[in-house]
Amino acid sequence: MLPTLSSLDPQMLRARLAAPVDDPERGLVIRTGPFVTRIRSRLPEVAEALSVLYGDYPLATPDGFVDFNVGVRRPWWRRGQRAQVRFDFEGQEPFNPLPGAQAVPLLEWGLNWCVSALCHDTLNLHAAVLERNGQALILPAPSGSGKSTLCAALAFSGWRLLSDELTLIDPRDGQVRPLPRPISLKNASIAAIRSFAPQAVVGSNVADTIKGTVAHLRPPASAVQRAAERACPAWIVLPRYVANGGLRWQAMEKTDGLMHLVENAFNYDVFGASGFDLLARVVSGCRCLRFEYGGDLHAAVQAFDDLLADRVEAQAGMQS
Protein backbone atom coordinates (compact mmCIF):
# COMPACT_ATOMS: atom_id res chain seq x y z
CA MET A 1 0.00 0.00 0.00
CA LEU A 2 1.17 3.50 -0.78
CA PRO A 3 2.12 5.77 2.14
CA THR A 4 -0.56 8.26 3.09
CA LEU A 5 -0.31 11.97 3.58
CA SER A 6 -0.32 11.45 7.36
CA SER A 7 3.12 9.81 7.03
CA LEU A 8 4.57 13.28 6.31
CA ASP A 9 5.41 15.37 9.35
CA PRO A 10 4.20 19.00 9.19
CA GLN A 11 7.60 20.25 8.10
CA MET A 12 7.91 17.77 5.23
CA LEU A 13 4.36 18.51 4.15
CA ARG A 14 5.09 22.22 4.05
CA ALA A 15 8.35 21.69 2.18
CA ARG A 16 6.62 19.63 -0.50
CA LEU A 17 3.82 22.13 -0.88
CA ALA A 18 6.28 25.00 -1.21
CA ALA A 19 7.84 23.69 -4.42
CA PRO A 20 8.17 26.47 -6.97
CA VAL A 21 5.49 26.72 -9.64
CA ASP A 22 7.99 26.29 -12.46
CA ASP A 23 9.28 23.00 -11.06
CA PRO A 24 6.90 20.38 -12.45
CA GLU A 25 8.53 17.48 -10.62
CA ARG A 26 7.80 18.66 -7.11
CA GLY A 27 4.84 19.67 -5.01
CA LEU A 28 2.54 17.49 -2.97
CA VAL A 29 1.15 14.72 -5.17
CA ILE A 30 -1.91 12.92 -3.81
CA ARG A 31 -4.46 10.53 -5.22
CA THR A 32 -8.15 11.31 -4.80
CA GLY A 33 -10.38 8.65 -6.32
CA PRO A 34 -9.37 8.19 -9.98
CA PHE A 35 -7.29 11.38 -10.08
CA VAL A 36 -3.74 12.32 -9.16
CA THR A 37 -3.30 15.97 -8.26
CA ARG A 38 -0.14 17.97 -7.69
CA ILE A 39 -0.78 20.76 -5.22
CA ARG A 40 1.51 23.70 -4.55
CA SER A 41 0.96 26.36 -1.94
CA ARG A 42 3.07 28.29 0.53
CA LEU A 43 0.05 29.19 2.64
CA PRO A 44 0.14 27.75 6.17
CA GLU A 45 -3.64 27.28 6.30
CA VAL A 46 -3.49 25.11 3.18
CA ALA A 47 -0.84 22.86 4.75
CA GLU A 48 -2.89 22.71 7.93
CA ALA A 49 -6.12 21.86 6.11
CA LEU A 50 -4.43 19.18 4.01
CA SER A 51 -3.02 17.49 7.08
CA VAL A 52 -6.39 17.64 8.88
CA LEU A 53 -8.63 16.69 5.95
CA TYR A 54 -6.47 14.57 3.65
CA GLY A 55 -4.45 12.49 6.14
CA ASP A 56 -5.78 9.17 4.81
CA TYR A 57 -5.16 9.90 1.12
CA PRO A 58 -2.35 8.00 -0.60
CA LEU A 59 0.68 9.92 -1.76
CA ALA A 60 1.41 9.29 -5.42
CA THR A 61 4.88 8.95 -6.89
CA PRO A 62 6.08 12.33 -8.16
CA ASP A 63 7.36 10.91 -11.45
CA GLY A 64 4.05 9.26 -12.38
CA PHE A 65 1.22 10.70 -14.45
CA VAL A 66 -0.43 13.71 -12.85
CA ASP A 67 -3.98 14.63 -13.87
CA PHE A 68 -4.10 18.16 -12.49
CA ASN A 69 -1.47 20.72 -11.53
CA VAL A 70 -2.99 23.23 -9.14
CA GLY A 71 -1.76 25.92 -6.78
CA VAL A 72 -3.18 28.41 -4.31
CA ARG A 73 -1.32 31.61 -3.52
CA ARG A 74 -1.82 34.94 -1.83
CA PRO A 75 0.02 37.65 -3.79
CA TRP A 76 2.27 39.59 -1.39
CA TRP A 77 1.47 42.97 -2.91
CA ARG A 78 -2.11 42.95 -1.65
CA ARG A 79 -2.16 43.34 2.13
CA GLY A 80 -4.67 43.51 4.95
CA GLN A 81 -8.24 44.08 3.82
CA ARG A 82 -7.18 43.90 0.19
CA ALA A 83 -5.50 40.50 0.50
CA GLN A 84 -6.60 37.94 -2.07
CA VAL A 85 -6.14 34.26 -2.74
CA ARG A 86 -5.81 32.96 -6.28
CA PHE A 87 -6.25 29.49 -7.74
CA ASP A 88 -3.73 28.49 -10.36
CA PHE A 89 -4.35 25.73 -12.89
CA GLU A 90 -1.51 25.04 -15.34
CA GLY A 91 -0.46 28.68 -15.15
CA GLN A 92 -3.97 30.00 -15.73
CA GLU A 93 -6.50 31.38 -13.28
CA PRO A 94 -9.92 29.96 -14.10
CA PHE A 95 -11.67 31.87 -11.27
CA ASN A 96 -11.77 35.38 -9.94
CA PRO A 97 -9.65 35.80 -6.80
CA LEU A 98 -11.32 35.38 -3.40
CA PRO A 99 -10.76 37.34 -0.16
CA GLY A 100 -7.45 36.49 1.51
CA ALA A 101 -8.80 34.18 4.22
CA GLN A 102 -10.57 31.78 1.83
CA ALA A 103 -7.66 29.73 0.56
CA VAL A 104 -9.03 26.38 1.74
CA PRO A 105 -12.54 26.72 0.23
CA LEU A 106 -10.89 28.05 -2.94
CA LEU A 107 -8.69 24.96 -3.18
CA GLU A 108 -11.68 22.66 -2.64
CA TRP A 109 -13.79 24.48 -5.24
CA GLY A 110 -10.84 24.49 -7.61
CA LEU A 111 -10.39 20.73 -7.24
CA ASN A 112 -14.11 20.26 -7.96
CA TRP A 113 -13.77 22.48 -11.05
CA CYS A 114 -10.89 20.37 -12.39
CA VAL A 115 -13.28 17.43 -12.59
CA SER A 116 -16.58 19.12 -13.44
CA ALA A 117 -15.15 21.36 -16.17
CA LEU A 118 -12.42 19.19 -17.65
CA CYS A 119 -13.31 15.52 -17.29
CA HIS A 120 -15.80 14.33 -19.85
CA ASP A 121 -14.96 10.65 -19.82
CA THR A 122 -17.67 10.35 -17.17
CA LEU A 123 -21.04 12.08 -17.07
CA ASN A 124 -20.72 14.30 -14.01
CA LEU A 125 -23.67 15.19 -11.81
CA HIS A 126 -23.81 17.83 -9.13
CA ALA A 127 -24.98 15.34 -6.53
CA ALA A 128 -23.86 13.62 -3.36
CA VAL A 129 -23.53 9.85 -3.61
CA LEU A 130 -23.14 7.10 -1.01
CA GLU A 131 -22.97 3.33 -1.17
CA ARG A 132 -24.24 0.34 0.71
CA ASN A 133 -24.05 -3.32 -0.39
CA GLY A 134 -22.66 -2.18 -3.74
CA GLN A 135 -25.72 -0.01 -4.37
CA ALA A 136 -25.44 3.73 -4.85
CA LEU A 137 -27.75 6.34 -3.35
CA ILE A 138 -27.68 9.51 -5.47
CA LEU A 139 -28.75 12.79 -3.85
CA PRO A 140 -29.04 15.45 -6.55
CA ALA A 141 -30.04 18.83 -5.20
CA PRO A 142 -29.22 22.50 -5.36
CA SER A 143 -27.24 24.24 -2.61
CA GLY A 144 -29.28 24.92 0.50
CA SER A 145 -31.31 21.72 0.27
CA GLY A 146 -29.45 20.06 3.11
CA LYS A 147 -27.76 17.61 0.77
CA SER A 148 -24.30 17.91 2.32
CA THR A 149 -25.61 17.66 5.90
CA LEU A 150 -27.56 14.54 5.08
CA CYS A 151 -24.62 13.13 3.15
CA ALA A 152 -22.27 13.76 6.11
CA ALA A 153 -24.71 12.12 8.57
CA LEU A 154 -25.08 9.04 6.34
CA ALA A 155 -21.29 8.86 5.78
CA PHE A 156 -20.88 8.40 9.56
CA SER A 157 -23.78 5.93 9.87
CA GLY A 158 -22.82 2.89 7.83
CA TRP A 159 -23.06 4.33 4.35
CA ARG A 160 -19.82 4.67 2.38
CA LEU A 161 -19.11 8.17 1.07
CA LEU A 162 -18.47 8.14 -2.69
CA SER A 163 -18.71 11.92 -3.07
CA ASP A 164 -20.35 14.94 -1.52
CA GLU A 165 -20.40 17.04 -4.72
CA LEU A 166 -19.63 15.03 -7.85
CA THR A 167 -21.35 11.86 -8.95
CA LEU A 168 -19.26 10.48 -11.81
CA ILE A 169 -21.16 8.04 -14.02
CA ASP A 170 -19.14 5.84 -16.31
CA PRO A 171 -20.85 5.77 -19.74
CA ARG A 172 -19.62 2.24 -20.43
CA ASP A 173 -21.42 0.50 -17.57
CA GLY A 174 -23.56 3.16 -15.86
CA GLN A 175 -21.69 2.68 -12.58
CA VAL A 176 -20.65 5.39 -10.18
CA ARG A 177 -16.92 6.04 -9.93
CA PRO A 178 -16.12 7.17 -6.37
CA LEU A 179 -14.36 10.47 -5.76
CA PRO A 180 -14.36 10.74 -1.96
CA ARG A 181 -13.19 14.16 -0.84
CA PRO A 182 -13.83 16.29 2.24
CA ILE A 183 -17.48 17.22 2.72
CA SER A 184 -18.23 20.92 2.56
CA LEU A 185 -20.46 21.94 5.49
CA LYS A 186 -22.11 25.31 5.62
CA ASN A 187 -23.41 27.52 8.43
CA ALA A 188 -25.69 25.70 10.91
CA SER A 189 -24.86 22.28 9.54
CA ILE A 190 -21.30 22.56 10.91
CA ALA A 191 -22.56 22.43 14.50
CA ALA A 192 -25.25 19.90 13.58
CA ILE A 193 -22.66 17.43 12.27
CA ARG A 194 -20.28 18.08 15.18
CA SER A 195 -23.02 17.07 17.60
CA PHE A 196 -24.34 14.20 15.45
CA ALA A 197 -20.92 12.62 14.96
CA PRO A 198 -18.53 13.76 17.73
CA GLN A 199 -15.83 11.51 16.28
CA ALA A 200 -15.87 13.45 13.00
CA VAL A 201 -12.88 15.68 12.27
CA VAL A 202 -13.85 19.13 11.02
CA GLY A 203 -11.39 21.69 9.67
CA SER A 204 -11.35 25.38 10.53
CA ASN A 205 -14.38 27.56 9.94
CA VAL A 206 -13.98 30.06 7.12
CA ALA A 207 -16.44 32.93 7.43
CA ASP A 208 -17.99 35.21 4.82
CA THR A 209 -17.63 33.03 1.74
CA ILE A 210 -20.32 33.26 -0.95
CA LYS A 211 -21.89 30.26 0.77
CA GLY A 212 -21.61 31.77 4.25
CA THR A 213 -19.40 30.11 6.84
CA VAL A 214 -17.82 26.97 5.46
CA ALA A 215 -15.93 24.13 7.14
CA HIS A 216 -14.75 20.88 5.63
CA LEU A 217 -15.23 17.46 7.14
CA ARG A 218 -12.54 14.80 6.91
CA PRO A 219 -14.02 11.81 5.12
CA PRO A 220 -14.03 8.47 6.99
CA ALA A 221 -10.78 6.58 6.35
CA SER A 222 -12.59 3.55 4.96
CA ALA A 223 -14.26 5.68 2.27
CA VAL A 224 -10.85 6.90 1.15
CA GLN A 225 -9.32 3.41 1.26
CA ARG A 226 -12.15 1.89 -0.79
CA ALA A 227 -12.17 4.65 -3.44
CA ALA A 228 -11.54 2.15 -6.24
CA GLU A 229 -14.75 0.16 -5.54
CA ARG A 230 -17.53 1.33 -7.80
CA ALA A 231 -21.26 1.13 -7.12
CA CYS A 232 -24.40 0.60 -9.13
CA PRO A 233 -27.05 3.36 -8.91
CA ALA A 234 -30.10 2.09 -6.97
CA TRP A 235 -31.85 5.13 -5.50
CA ILE A 236 -32.32 8.72 -6.60
CA VAL A 237 -33.49 10.77 -3.64
CA LEU A 238 -34.18 14.48 -3.81
CA PRO A 239 -33.58 15.75 -0.24
CA ARG A 240 -35.12 18.90 1.17
CA TYR A 241 -34.41 20.31 4.58
CA VAL A 242 -37.50 21.89 6.16
CA ALA A 243 -36.73 23.76 9.38
CA ASN A 244 -38.66 22.15 12.25
CA GLY A 245 -40.36 19.82 9.78
CA GLY A 246 -40.85 16.10 10.12
CA LEU A 247 -39.75 13.18 7.97
CA ARG A 248 -41.60 12.57 4.75
CA TRP A 249 -41.02 10.16 1.88
CA GLN A 250 -42.79 10.90 -1.36
CA ALA A 251 -42.82 8.89 -4.53
CA MET A 252 -41.30 10.60 -7.57
CA GLU A 253 -42.00 9.74 -11.20
CA LYS A 254 -38.98 8.32 -13.01
CA THR A 255 -39.35 11.05 -15.60
CA ASP A 256 -38.98 13.62 -12.79
CA GLY A 257 -35.97 11.75 -11.50
CA LEU A 258 -34.46 11.88 -14.99
CA MET A 259 -35.10 15.62 -15.27
CA HIS A 260 -33.40 16.24 -11.93
CA LEU A 261 -30.33 14.31 -13.08
CA VAL A 262 -30.26 16.27 -16.36
CA GLU A 263 -30.62 19.60 -14.55
CA ASN A 264 -27.78 18.73 -12.23
CA ALA A 265 -25.43 17.37 -14.90
CA PHE A 266 -22.31 19.44 -15.57
CA ASN A 267 -21.56 18.01 -18.98
CA TYR A 268 -24.88 16.73 -20.32
CA ASP A 269 -24.37 18.89 -23.43
CA VAL A 270 -20.99 17.28 -24.08
CA PHE A 271 -22.56 13.81 -24.05
CA GLY A 272 -25.47 14.84 -26.29
CA ALA A 273 -27.92 12.09 -27.17
CA SER A 274 -25.77 9.43 -25.52
CA GLY A 275 -26.08 11.39 -22.26
CA PHE A 276 -29.84 11.13 -22.38
CA ASP A 277 -29.61 7.38 -23.04
CA LEU A 278 -27.15 6.91 -20.21
CA LEU A 279 -29.21 8.84 -17.65
CA ALA A 280 -32.42 7.15 -18.79
CA ARG A 281 -30.69 3.80 -18.23
CA VAL A 282 -29.53 4.91 -14.77
CA VAL A 283 -33.00 6.12 -13.79
CA SER A 284 -34.75 3.01 -15.05
CA GLY A 285 -32.66 0.95 -12.62
CA CYS A 286 -33.35 3.28 -9.70
CA ARG A 287 -36.12 3.93 -7.23
CA CYS A 288 -36.93 7.68 -7.33
CA LEU A 289 -38.13 9.47 -4.19
CA ARG A 290 -38.39 12.86 -2.56
CA PHE A 291 -37.29 13.15 1.06
CA GLU A 292 -38.07 15.93 3.52
CA TYR A 293 -36.41 16.13 6.90
CA GLY A 294 -36.16 18.54 9.81
CA GLY A 295 -33.49 18.97 12.44
CA ASP A 296 -33.36 15.35 13.63
CA LEU A 297 -30.46 13.73 11.79
CA HIS A 298 -30.76 10.45 13.74
CA ALA A 299 -34.32 10.05 12.50
CA ALA A 300 -33.21 10.92 8.96
CA VAL A 301 -30.48 8.30 9.03
CA GLN A 302 -32.99 5.76 10.37
CA ALA A 303 -35.27 6.60 7.44
CA PHE A 304 -32.51 5.66 5.01
CA ASP A 305 -31.95 2.37 6.83
CA ASP A 306 -35.68 1.79 6.30
CA LEU A 307 -35.27 2.62 2.63
CA LEU A 308 -32.58 -0.01 2.37
CA ALA A 309 -34.74 -2.58 4.20
CA ASP A 310 -37.87 -1.66 2.20
CA ARG A 311 -36.09 -2.46 -0.95
CA VAL A 312 -34.93 -5.81 0.33
CA GLU A 313 -38.51 -6.68 1.39
CA ALA A 314 -39.94 -5.50 -1.90
CA GLN A 315 -37.57 -7.70 -3.80
CA ALA A 316 -38.34 -10.68 -1.58
CA GLY A 317 -42.08 -10.03 -2.03
CA MET A 318 -41.77 -10.02 -5.80
CA GLN A 319 -39.89 -13.29 -5.84
CA SER A 320 -42.46 -15.23 -3.77
Partner 1 sequence: MTSATPPVADVDRVANALREPQAWRSASPLEWSRLFGQARSAGLLARVAWVIANAGNRTTSPADPDLTPEALASAGPWPDATRGHVASAWRLALAQRIEVRRELRHIAHALAPLAGVGAPVVLLKGAAYVAANLAPARCGRLFGDIDVLVPRDALDRAELNLQLHGWESQETSDYNQRYYRQWMHELPPMAHRQRGTALDLHHALLPPTSRLKSPPAPLFAQARPLAAAPGLMALHVLAPEDMLLHSMAHLFAGDDMRHALRDLSDMDLLLRDEQSRDRDFVGRLVERGLELGLGRPLAYGLLGASRVLATPIPQQALERVRRLAPRSLLGNGMNWLWQHALRTRHPSVDRPGTALALQLLYLRGHWLRMPLPMLVRHLSIKALKLHETGPATEP
- Site residues for partner 1 per CB under 8 A: 21-22, 24-25, 34, 36, 63-67, 69, 90-92, 118-122, 172, 269-272
DSSP 289: E
Measured from the CB atom, the residue of 90 and 306 that comes closer to partner 1 is 90
Q: Strand 98-99's sheet: what is its strand order? A: 28-32, 35-40, 68-73, 84-89, 98-99
Measured from the CB atom, the residue of 3 and 64 that comes closer to partner 1 is 64
Q: How far is the CB of 307 from partner 1 (least distance, A)?
A: 32
CA-to-CA distance for 310 and 233, rounded, in angstroms?
A: 16
Q: How far is the CB of 181 from partner 1 (least distance, A)?
A: 17
Q: How far is the CB of 128 from partner 1 (least distance, A)?
A: 22
What is the Cα 81 distance to its own chain's centre?
31
For residues 53 and 203, the answer to whether their CB atoms sit within 8 Å is: yes
Measured from the CB atom, the residue of 29 and 129 that comes closer to partner 1 is 29
Measured from the CB atom, the residue of 20 and 246 that comes closer to partner 1 is 20
CA-to-CA distance for 247 and 112, rounded, in angstroms?
A: 31
Q: How far is the CB of 21 from partner 1 (least distance, A)?
A: 6
Measured from the CB atom, the residue of 172 and 199 that comes closer to partner 1 is 172
Measured from the CB atom, the residue of 273 and 318 that comes closer to partner 1 is 273
For residues 191 and 91, the answer to whether their CB atoms sit within 8 Å is: no
Cross-strand pairs, 291? 239, 249
Q: How far is the CB of 88 from partner 1 (least distance, A)?
A: 9
CA-to-CA distance for 133 and 184, rounded, in angstroms?
A: 25
Angle at 179 between CA 174 and CA 183, to 5 degrees: 125
For residues 204 and 142, the answer to whether their CB atoms sit within 8 Å is: no
Q: How far is the CB of 25 from partner 1 (least distance, A)?
A: 7
What is the Cα 245 distance to its own chain's centre?
26
